[in-house]
Amino acid sequence: MCCGTFWLADDFLALDDSLDEDTIDAAMEQAEECHDANVGFNWEFLHHVIEAVKEKEQ
Confidence (pTM)? 0.88
CB 35 within 8 A of CB 41: yes
Neighbours of 25 (CB within 10 A): 14
Per-residue pLDDT of the chain (58 residues; tens, 9 = 90+): 887 788 999 999 999 999 999 999 999 999 999 988 898 899 999 999 999 999 999 8
Domain ranges of the chain: 9-57
The torsion of the CA quartet 21, 23, 28, 29, rounded to 10 degrees, works out to 110
CB 7 within 8 A of CB 22: no
4 SS3 class: coil
End-to-end Cα, the chain, rounded Å: 42
pLDDT score recorded for residue 7: 92
